[in-house]
Chains A and B, each alone.
Chain A
Amino acid sequence: MSIAPLEQIERARPWRPGPRLVSLIVGGAAAVLVLYPIAYLIQASLSVGDPQARPPEAYGLDNFAGLGRYSHIFGNTLLVAGVATVLAVVVGFAMGWILSRTNVPGRAAFEQLMAMPYYVTPLMGALAWALIASPNSGFVNQLWRAVGGDGHLIDINTPWGIAWVMALFEGSVAFVMIGAVMKSMDPAMEEASQVLGAGRLRTMLRITLPLVMPGVLGAAVYVFAEMLGSFSAALVLGLPSRFYVVTTAMYQLVSQYPPRFPTAAAMGVSLFAVMFAMVWIYRRIVSAGSYVTITGKAFRPRVLDVGGLRWPFLGICVAYLTVAVILPVLTITYASFQHLTAAAPSLRNLTLDNYRTALSLDAVRSALWNSLFLGVATASIGVVLMGFLSWLIYRSRLPGAGLIEYVLMFPQAVPRLVFAFGMLWAWLVFPIPIYGTLWLLLIAYLTVFLPLGLRTISGVILQIDRSLEESAQMCGAAWGYRLRTVTMPLLKPGLIAAWLLLFIASVRELGASILLMGPKAKVITPAIVESWFSTSSELTAAMALLQTLAVAAALAIMFAVARRAVQAGGE
């Protein structure tokens, strides 16, 4: 053997912070980021003295006792969330079954398109459906009166309307969750039933349904929890008819004069408690009933030949995408080019004025720039922070990693508006004056999107075999070197996906931004909502479309850069 011996790697080296210390500091800081606002939220809910006083003068449970007066609001919330959940799960189940188990034409394409409602967002959906179906000026009702009808045909400013818009959006979430369960089922289980002599229907009822049931139930609980905390559709569609759910009522209590912080805080804590319970139930269902998904194997799902039913099924898919995506986008686009929204198109009514106004208004321009800047900053800082935290939780084997995970996933169970409320209190008393600046929004985004980033990145981390890192260690690489040469490059696809998701989520954030943005540091989504209530719907439509285009453009650039980066990475 001609290889000469290498000298021993140097034993004495300058002191560097070990992984343990850095992990503790970063993990601890992230935990503080989450717990600090929650502590203030709880403190505020217990304040029974002067509602404006900080810190509270006296503590008690009066605020919670006083919530009885708002029982109708809790009833509204349950009604809207319940109806929307049933609708969304029906949509998700039907689409999931059609797209993963039947031979409907264009399955693969539809499966991709099912992500679209997520990009449309409930706010866009709510604005569009308000244009389509508000009682006075909605297109449908305009047409109804034009053909001689009286009053209005449909009214979107009702609990049903709000539930409808929320269900359209959450339907795609339910679809993703239920579709995954249906796909992860071993077709041999159904085949075994048929071999043993059971017919199709019997197999469906006795084998297929029981197997997917935990997944469906889990999706229902998850969607319901999300609906309880949802804000934008209820705000846009409920405010005109003074129909409040918990989140919009909280917003109202905080933004009215004088604000009633303790009551709002008590409402927030109650909602938080309910959602926390829902998330807990969801986890129990998922872990107890996971006998379908537990193998983790990818099966080729058995495709059912449904014969002539293919076409009605295709119709269902097209119909869903139409009401959830195509119709809203067309409506917003159409309205943005009009002087005065009218159902019947006419050449004289066409204009570019709305765009001219939107782009010339300083407020709109700066809000758009602020949002894009915050999006890039949140995504970039977030990917590094959350990438490290994922590694810390799932790989470092530090004592307490499980606890850190638990704390960091907290924001998932707290509506962003409620969380922002805690931050409002927390950062007002913070010695460094960041309240009312973009910095506060940046911190808020990084906090509320922790679960989103962690889930995306940890999904990839868990797929990377631990021995890939260990072998680098055995080659003599210290932890920083390993992280840079092995862990990070392997995580790249996951990190890029996380960056994009964080960027999109930040630019469109409403619940936290609407409470935390200052008059001199506005961001675009709350500006759109303000414009909806204080200026014209045509201008608002133009702003919403501009926001969507800006996101699309930023994504296109990012995709191009990312593709080059991946290619350069030695494919």
Chain B
Amino acid sequence: MSRASIEVRDLVVRYGVVLAVRGVTFSVGAGEHLTLLGPSGCGKTTTLRAIAGLERPTSGEIRIGGNPVFSSSPSVNVPAERRGLSMVFQSYAIWPHMSVFDNVAYGLRVRKRPEAEVRTRVREALDLVQLGDLEERSASKLSGGQQQRVALARAFVFSPSVLLFDEPLSNLDAKLRAEMRVELKELQRRLDITSVYVTHDLEEALAISDRIVVMRDGVIEQVGTPAEIYDRPRNTFVADFVGSANLIRGRRRTDLERDGLVVIETAGGALVHGTAHERRAGAEALMAVRTVRLRLERARPAAAVNAWPARIRRRVFQGDFTQYHVDWDGRTLIVRSAASEPMAEGDEVFVSADPRHCVLLEE
């Protein structure tokens, strides 16, 4: 299988007066699965479409497999159909006037492959997405999940060097989406192909990516592995967007810092020990701690640091976990706990956190 790397440098896309993407640089290694993650309007889809060649950037450079496909100087703009990429669209874009077979065969027929080869390869692709028995069906008579699979098969059947995904699962219902997420990951690994995936869904991004690029307002906020993004958000935006986090502000207490930990003192006088991850902080600092990383206990924990008394104010049962709103240090902390034995509203408890999970943020 041919795999190609992608390099995007200083990409700027402007629509009239609106700057959709303002100077984005990243690269995707050959065979890597990269995800562009961000809220709607952050420029992730525009970036993907610029790589595809469906959107003409204002400036910057895009290379695929080392060859420039777009560059503002010298001026290069290879049309989308000659970039050797493929794409799965949010709307699937299944052609309703063709059968399932013809939809999938399209890319091969464009490339003038002999009809016998077309047949075997379409069959293989349809088998791979578990639609082997539907090839003669009219594409207009498919369910949403089936259309999704046809769109997938159509995208990879002609062995593109890169596969692009534009929010491919966003039109499916929650259950199907969870299933497809696993299947998609499976497929990606089997095809051994470079892929760029766009989504606003955190779980999707965490599940299928090797690396995640978090974007906001046309710029990159953080790049990292799913674990890095989740456990070590760089700033409040990432901490907030990537799962729910409690933000704690306080004054630096360098006098208490040892073992490489950062210590802040909140307005209420609580001392919070956290990890800096080579980030610099001034006299005032902000830390983030994920709601699932906080523990609630009835007795004071044995840990020397980061254990504080608190009171349960509100309990919200949510099925997989219970969300507690806890009065702490003159404010509310959100704690999500999967513990089977619930605390009651009004209980006096201890809330604690491992300093590794209290992450210093850049401001």
Q: Which residues of A contact B (CB under 8 A)?
A: 1-6, 8-9, 11, 465, 467-468, 470-478, 481, 485-486, 489-490, 492, 569-571
Contact = CB atoms under 8 A, between A and B. Distances in A.
A471 B93 contact: yes
Given A477-B110, A478-B79, 18 more contacts: A1-B1, A3-B159, A5-B1, A9-B111, A467-B89, A470-B80, A470-B93, A471-B87, A471-B151, A471-B154, A474-B54, A474-B155, A475-B81, A475-B86, A490-B95, A569-B97, A570-B99, A570-B138
Interface residues of B, number: 42
B93 A465 contact: yes
A468 to B, nearest CB: 5
B120 to A, nearest CB: 9
Interface in B144-166: 151, 154-155, 157-159, 164
Nearest to A470: B54
A55 B200 CA distance: 66
B142 interface: no
Interface in B122-176: 124-125, 138, 151, 154-155, 157-159, 164
B332 to A, nearest CB: 38
Nearest to A485: B106
Contacts of A474: 52, 54, 80-81, 85-87, 155, 164
Nearest to A491: B97
B257 to A, nearest CB: 53
A29 B58 CA distance: 31
A481 B106 CA distance: 11
Given A465-B93, A470-B93, A475 B107 contact: yes
A210 B273 CA distance: 64
A571 B138 contact: yes
B322 interface: no
B315 to A, nearest CB: 36
Contact of B124 (A2, A489, A490, A570): A2
26 contacts: A1-B192, A2-B124, A3-B1, A3-B157, A3-B159, A11-B82, A467-B90, A468-B95, A471-B87, A471-B93, A472-B95, A472-B106, A473-B80, A474-B86, A475-B81, A475-B106, A475-B110, A475-B158, A476-B82, A478-B79, A481-B110, A486-B95, A490-B96, A570-B99, A570-B102, A570-B138
B190 A1 contact: yes
Contacts of B81: 9, 473-478
Interface of B: 1-2, 52-54, 79-82, 84-87, 89-91, 93, 95-99, 102, 106-107, 110-111, 113, 121, 124-125, 138, 151, 154-155, 157-159, 164, 190-192
Contacts of A489: 97
Nearest to A488: B97
A467 B93 contact: yes
Contact of A477 (B84, B106, B192): B106
A475 B103 CA distance: 10
A5 B2 contact: yes
Which of B89, B121, B155, B190 lies at the interface centre, i.e. has the most chain A CB atoms within 10 A of its CB?
A: B89
Most B CB atoms within 10 A — which of A473, A485, A569, A571? A473
A481 B2 CA distance: 25
Nearest to B156: A3
A476 B158 contact: yes
B93 A476 contact: no
B84 A8 contact: yes
A476 B89 CA distance: 15
Nearest to A478: B81
Contacts of A471: 87, 89, 93, 95, 151, 154
Q: Which 3 A-B pairs have the closest CB atoms?
A: A475-B107, A471-B93, A467-B93
Given A475-B154, A476-B81, A490 B97 contact: yes
A476 B121 contact: no
A468 B154 CA distance: 13
A285 to B, nearest CB: 27
A570 B124 CA distance: 23
Contacts of A570: 97-99, 102, 138
Contacts of B138: 570-571
Contacts of B1: 1, 3, 5
Contacts of A571: 138
B152 to A, nearest CB: 12
A571 B157 CA distance: 24
Nearest to B54: A470
B159 A4 contact: yes
Contacts of B191: 1
Contacts of A9: 81-82, 84, 111
A476 B111 contact: yes
Contacts of A478: 79, 81
Contacts of A2: 124
A6 B80 contact: no
Contacts of B125: 3
A31 to B, nearest CB: 24
B93 to A, nearest CB: 4
Contacts of B164: 474
Contacts of A475: 81, 86, 106-107, 110, 154, 158
Nearest to A8: B84
